[in-house]
Structure 1
Amino acid sequence: MAMRDPLLSKLKAVLLRLKEEKQPVTDSDPDLQVLCETLECILRKGLKKPGSVFGLYKRDYWCWMESLMSSAGSERLHPMFSLAIEACRSPNKVKSHQGRGRFLIRICLNKKILSVPIQHLLKNHRMLEIWYDPLMSIIGSDMLVESLMSLLHLTSEIQFELNSKNASFLDETWVLPVYRQYEFVPCKDLGIVIRHIRQRVIVADVKEDSVASHKNRIEPGDVLDELYGESLYGSSRGKISSLLKQHEGWPVYVSVIKCHLRTGKVFQNVHDIWCVLRDEYSGFKVPTDRDPNLRKSSTDSDQGEVLHKLSGSSVYKVKYVGCAGVGKDGGTAVIESAIASVLKEKGPNSSTYKDVYLELGETNLITWESSDEDTVFMKHCYPEISSCGRRTDALLYFAYVAGDTTCTISKQFNCYVYFANCDQEGKAILTSIAQGFGRTTWFV
């Protein structure tokens, strides 16, 4: 094998691009698919795959990674890697060796442990010989594997925030669909017509003025992936009605795989299912590509809207005004002047502010792009937040102050200013921040 391998060059290039990004890497990042495909090619290069004696199954890189659980010997496996393997063994969303391997790669990126399985494999020379050809593989080559390990360690320096629930199509593709999680008001009927086709629950029709039709959250061609946190992939036909009956009177929590990608192109892996659905349900029209910039109109107002995720997080649709540096002092005393400074720069016209979703989680505050809920605009954990509050003469403007590290040792603080839809909403958000982090000082 050559001293250099093009796959390693490709891996290095994509990692350097990702490392330059200031925001965490999410499913919407176009370089993520390149990274995952390259990693998979490296793991498969030179992989010995004899399969079973009768050819009933074929081995993949997942197989040797899973076998580390029983062949590690005296070498204790990294606890996070053991948990990752157990998570991938669940048959709910991934059912093949390929799907489980891809799911494991995503978990390892999130947990910064991608180098762990290869480290263990390199320590077990007998196992390494069984799985990899030293002349054809990167992992089996003494020289190339050193370069690979240094690149894998680089992945631990990149912040990945990949949605672990978005896994139902990993058996088939690395192209990740748009994944949405919704909460609907308690009801017995969402107003959708569904069909079970090839183990998927497909939306055939959405009734006009129904709960599901609100703001076009669910559209014909979408795939229902979860209901109340339980996977619907491969589920029986009675599972949905059973879950709705069990949770009667509760808000309805649904996770949906959208029929369109972020680019506006249709999600091709569902196209064959749509063709079957068209024959079964005469009113169904196969989705087509659309302009990604085209926003569907809605007569409903987002004023004061708050959503609650199944995890317990509250999500508010607000406007982000701007940020002002406040130096070494992160107390409430700087908030009024910081808001005034941002308003002086941005002006009082709220139409020029950035539409965002502000998620108040158990451990952090996340600001999402309003145009794409999978894109993290800003994130701060509660220990970084030193204070929050608002001006008494401009109650719609609220802000919090956060340091560049834990606030007790931070030497530099910034004040982040937002615009609420109403007075009560601003107060509710500030109260939630204070409750989320007991040491945060605040005033209303």
Structure 2
Amino acid sequence: MPAKDPLIETLKVCILELQAEDTVTDSSPQLASCCELLELILRKGLQQPVLSLTHRDYWCCFEQLVHLDTCSSGRLSAVSLAIQQTTACPKLLSAQGRGRYFIRLMLSRRTLGNVVNHLLHTSSIMEWYSPNISVLRNEEFVEPFLSLCLVLSEMEFKLNIQNCSFLDESWLLPVCETYEAVPCRELGMVLRYLDRRVFVLELLRGGVAQADMFAEPGDIIDEINGISLRNSSNGQAGVVLSRLKGQPLSLRLLRWRGENGAVYRPLVPLLRQLKQENPSLEFGSPLPKPSVQRDSQSPCVKEGRILYAVQLIGKTNIGMYGGKEVLQYAIPAVLQKRQSRKDVLLDVKETHLICTDKSNKQQLFQHHFPEISCVGRFGQPDFTIFAFCVGDTPDTGFCCVVLQAASSTECEEIVHRIATGFKSTEWFV
């Protein structure tokens, strides 16, 4: 009976389970185990250099391929370009992190088999492995391992390569999400720099972060507009934001909660330190939105957002001035017209609002917040009526749109959200 290596046999079982999925993603339960087994095999029998203080890891083997390619052909191959991409990634601070990033990159590009085969045929690197221990220098084991790598190269992997800031510590990845923000004066967050990372410590009341609830205390700001904040020094996030003043923002966030809702394990010691420094800090408890008693008919929820079931009373042109003072006569003017009311759904998004007909889902209007000049509610005879003024055309000026909410508390909440929206989207010149 031929000898079997337990790592290869376990890898074979893991790959069979991955093959049950049409596409392997970061949420695939066997992905981390598969990557870890690849790492153990590539690391097994790797000898350390004599009289050197530098620790040699399997990434050092791959790193040598780019030098050999350049020397032999004078131009870089696809493998060498991937190695250079790995080396240039600012989020990786160790050989272990770079090796893990490179494995994920090769899986995504379906080239792992070619890279391993290239490695096996580079004798100067193979000499770093012990012939008595290594899988790569064992004639009985190396062929099955290469075959499994080729199988992986035929599979579809869709991995978030940018989610790599914790590969130095763990194969387990945090939840990574991107938030798009329009130009604003300030995001309204207190930050804490710890372990060369930027943590959200607090959301300031009235700020964009608190209004949109896109972050929680304990989350990490990983990137701003593609600029990595990994390995950042104190104040670096503020410097980046000041350079981007007046531009739309794209924030990549790493969540302190994992996919299962529990604390992301590699963050536990850092979150514990934040808690020791700030005993009042409550993770997962950002400032609450205004508490309201909701009518059974309103609001409804779509894709995690609140859609308010309101009535569209009507609208009227108010001339060339759209300040808040016009609401006191514009709202009564619309009410006196007694226009046909419509049951509508009002979707207040981060950058704009959309009104759709509740009966046929037809979009009635859409306005971005910078177009809105004022918003307010009407006190007489009913506190449920509110309106906003929006720039219509250069010739006709402003239009006042009047709606009615299901309750006074809901009316107040809608007005607050619209006001927060158009104030925080003020464009810089």
The residue identity in structure 2 corresponding to 1:140 is R
- TM-score under structure 1 length normalisation: 0.62
C-alpha contact (below 8 Å) 2:176/2:253 kept by paired residues: yes
C-alpha contact (below 8 Å) 2:65/2:80 kept by paired residues: no
- Distance, in Å, in 2 between the alignment partners of 1:85 and 1:186 is 36
- Distance, in Å, in 2 between the alignment partners of 1:60 and 1:77 is 26
C-alpha contact (below 8 Å) 1:275/1:286 kept by paired residues: no
- Distance, in Å, in 1 between the alignment partners of 2:79 and 2:207 is 44
C-alpha contact (below 8 Å) 2:66/2:76 kept by paired residues: no
Per-residue CA deviation, residues 311-336 of structure 1 (Å, 9 max, x unaligned), is xxxxxxxxxxxxxxxxxxxxxxxxxx
C-alpha contact (below 8 Å) 1:228/1:243 kept by paired residues: no
Per-residue CA deviation, residues 357-400 of structure 1 (Å, 9 max, x unaligned), is xxxxxxxxxxxxxxxxxxxxxxxxxxxxxxxxxxxxxx99xxxx
The residue identity in structure 2 corresponding to 1:204 is L
Per-residue CA deviation, residues 213-260 of structure 1 (Å, 9 max, x unaligned), is 345320011111001111101113232222222222222211010001
The residue identity in structure 1 corresponding to 2:31 is L
Equivalent positions of 1:41-440 (< 5 A) are 41-50=40-49, 53-54=51-52, 56-72=53-69, 74=72, 79-90=77-88, 92-128=90-126, 130-214=127-211, 216-286=213-283, 422-423=362-363
Identify if the C-alpha distance between structure 1 residues 67 and 148 changes in structure 2 by more than 3 Å, giving closer, same or farther.
same
Identify if the C-alpha distance between structure 1 residues 272 and 47 changes in structure 2 by more than 3 Å, giving closer, same or farther.
same
- Distance, in Å, in 2 between the alignment partners of 1:197 and 1:218 is 17
Instruction: Give the secondary structure class of the aligned counterpart of 2:198.
Output: strand
User: Among the aligned pairs, what percent are the same residue?
Assistant: 36
Q: Give the drift of 1:81.
A: 1.5
Alignment partner, residue 30 of structure 1 = 29
- Distance, in Å, in 2 between the alignment partners of 1:103 and 1:163 is 11
CA RMSD of aligned residues (A): 3.1
C-alpha contact (below 8 Å) 2:46/2:129 kept by paired residues: yes
Per-residue CA deviation, residues 155-176 of structure 1 (Å, 9 max, x unaligned), is 1221111111100000011111
Structure 2 unmatched runs, 5+: 286-293, 306-355, 366-429
Identify if the C-alpha distance between structure 1 residues 77 and 149 changes in structure 2 by more than 3 Å, giving closer, same or farther.
farther
The residue identity in structure 2 corresponding to 1:99 is G
C-alpha contact (below 8 Å) 2:178/2:250 kept by paired residues: yes
Alignment partner, residue 15 of structure 2 = 15
The residue identity in structure 2 corresponding to 1:127 is I
C-alpha contact (below 8 Å) 1:185/1:252 kept by paired residues: yes
C-alpha contact (below 8 Å) 1:192/1:206 kept by paired residues: yes
Q: Give the drift of 1:282.
A: 4.4
Q: Give the drift of 1:190.
A: 1.2
Instruction: Give the secondary structure class of the aligned counterpart of 1:237.
Output: coil
Identify if the C-alpha distance between structure 1 residues 303 and 263 changes in structure 2 by more than 3 Å, giving closer, same or farther.
closer
C-alpha contact (below 8 Å) 1:304/1:421 kept by paired residues: no
The residue identity in structure 2 corresponding to 1:86 is Q
Q: Give the drift of 1:287.
A: 5.5
Instruction: Give the secondary structure class of the aligned counterpart of 1:253.
Output: strand
- Distance, in Å, in 1 between the alignment partners of 2:8 and 2:272 is 40
Instruction: Give the secondary structure class of the aligned counterpart of 1:57.
Output: coil
- Distance, in Å, in 1 between the alignment partners of 2:39 and 2:16 is 18
- Distance, in Å, in 1 between the alignment partners of 2:361 and 2:121 is 58
C-alpha contact (below 8 Å) 2:66/2:79 kept by paired residues: no
Q: Give the drift of 1:78.
A: 7.6
Would you say how many aligned residue pairs link Structure 1 and Structure 2? 302
Q: Give the drift of 1:79.
A: 2.7
- Distance, in Å, in 1 between the alignment partners of 2:188 and 2:146 is 52
C-alpha contact (below 8 Å) 2:216/2:284 kept by paired residues: no
Alignment partner, residue 3 of structure 1 = 3
- Distance, in Å, in 2 between the alignment partners of 1:134 and 1:34 is 26
Q: Give the drift of 1:132.
A: 1.1
Structure 1 unmatched runs, 5+: 289-296, 307-394, 397-419, 426-444
C-alpha contact (below 8 Å) 1:228/1:252 kept by paired residues: yes
- Distance, in Å, in 2 between the alignment partners of 1:300 and 1:187 is 28
Instruction: Give the secondary structure class of the aligned counterpart of 1:277.
Output: helix
C-alpha contact (below 8 Å) 1:94/1:171 kept by paired residues: yes
- Distance, in Å, in 2 between the alignment partners of 1:113 and 1:76 is 22
Identify if the C-alpha distance between structure 1 residues 210 and 113 changes in structure 2 by more than 3 Å, giving closer, same or farther.
same
Runs of 4+ in 1 over 2 A off after TM superposition: 71-80, 124-127, 207-210, 213-217, 236-239, 278-283, 285-288, 299-306, 420-425
Q: Give the drift of 1:31.
A: 0.9
The residue identity in structure 2 corresponding to 1:119 is N
The residue identity in structure 1 corresponding to 2:16 is L
Instruction: Give the secondary structure class of the aligned counterpart of 2:208.
Output: coil
Instruction: Give the secondary structure class of the aligned counterpart of 2:158.
Output: coil
Find the structure with the greater CA-based Rg. 2
Q: Give the drift of 1:95.
A: 0.8
